[in-house]
Amino acid sequence: MNLTILGCYAATPRTLTHPTAQVLEMRNELFLIDCGEGTQVELRKHKIKFSKINHIFISHLHGDHFYGLIGLISTFMLLGRVNDLHIYGPKGIKEIIVLQLRLSNSWVNYGLYFHELESTQSELIYEDNQLTVHTIPLKHRVYTNGFLFREKPAERKLNFEAVKEHRIETCYFQKIKNGHDLTLGDGTILSNELLTFDPPAPKSYAFCSDTVYDEDLIPLLKGVDVLYHESTFLNSEEELGAKTMHSTAAQAAQIARAAQVRKLVLGHYSTRYESIERFKEEAQPIFEQILLADDGVHFEF
C-alpha cells in the first residue's frame, strides 16, 4: 500500500504548495483521491501513469478539491485514452463536468461514468475482487465524504515443502489456497494449516478530508492501518476551525487515538503557518504515530 501526496494544503494554490490530491496504490491499482488545481501537472512530475488511473474519488465540491478535474478529463482525451473512467463524488459533479465539456464544444472518446453520492450514511461505492471502498460521511459546510479503502483477504500461500512431501498434485493447489483441507486416497486428512502459510494481513486506508471534529467517525475508522485526517489549524485557531468546520492537528490526533488506528497522516494545512512541523508538535503528545503529508511525499506502508 503506497500513498503519493500531490497536494495537501488548504484553499488556494501557491508557487510551492498545492491543493488536495493524492494517489493511493493498493493491490497494483491506482486511485486518485480529490483533484485540486494542478493535479495533472503533479501527476506528470511524479511520473504517475495517467492510463493506470481508472477511478477518481472526489470528497466535496469546494474548488480546492476538484477544480483540476475537468483539465485532467480533457487531457485524457487528448492522450487517446481508451479505458473507462469512473468518477465518484457528490450529486452535482456530473452536471458541472458535462456543462464545461458542452460549452467548450469538447468531448471524450472513452467511457466516462459518474457515480453521484447523496447518502448521509456510510455506503459501499466500489468493489472488485481485491478491495472495497466505503464512504465516510463528514461534517463540513457542504455535503462531504471521506473514503475507506479495505483490501479483501488474500488467498493462502502454499507450503511447497509440505506439498512436495505429501506428493499433492497441482490440480488441488487452488482448493488448498482457498483454505480447504485435503483428504488423501487412504482417508488421511491434511489440515490446511499444514499445507499453507497465512497471507499478509489485509491493509486499510481512510481518507478524511474537510471536516469539523466529529466523534461519530470513530466507529467507522476503528483499527484502520493508516488514517489521513485534515488538520487545517493549530490550537491557537481552534475557534476558527469550529466556525469554518475544519479540524486542528490535536483534534485529528484525538480521533486517531480513540479509533486505535496504526498511523495518522496530517494534511490540508492552512498556509498561514510558516512550518508544518508545528502540526506534528501539537498532535504527537496525543497520538504518537504521526506522519506529515507534504507535496511530493511518498509513503510506503
For position 280, what pLDDT does the model report?
98
pLDDT computed for residue 42 by the predictor: 97
> Which sign, positive or negative, has the C-alpha torsion 242, 246, 251, 255?
positive
Asked if pLDDT for residue 272 goes beyond 90, the answer is: yes
pLDDT of residue 167: 86
**Residue 131: band (very low, low, confident or very high) from pLDDT cuts 50, 70, 90:** very high
The three three-digit cell numbers of residue 175, written as one number: 482448493
* Residue 185 pLDDT exceeds 90: no
Half-sphere exposure of 46 (CA within 13 A, CB side): 19
Measured in degrees and rounded to the nearest 5, phi and psi for residue 2 equal -125, 145
Nearest residue to 33 (alpha-carbon basis) of 18, 20, 48: 20
Rounded to whole angstroms, the Cα distance separating 187 from 70 reads: 64
Point out the catalytic residue in the list 34, 64, 225, 295.
Answer: 64
Convert the pLDDT of each residue in 39-69 to its tens digit: 999 999 999 999 999 999 999 999 999 999 9
Which cell numbers in the block locate residue 199?
A: 497471507
- Average pLDDT in the 282-297 region? 98
User: In this predicted structure, what is the pLDDT of residue 26?
Assistant: 97
pLDDT tens digits, one per residue of 186-235? 888 999 999 999 988 999 999 999 999 999 999 999 999 999 999 999 99
Question: Is 64 labeled as catalytic in the residue annotation?
Answer: yes
**Residue 243: helix, strand or coil by DSSP?**
helix
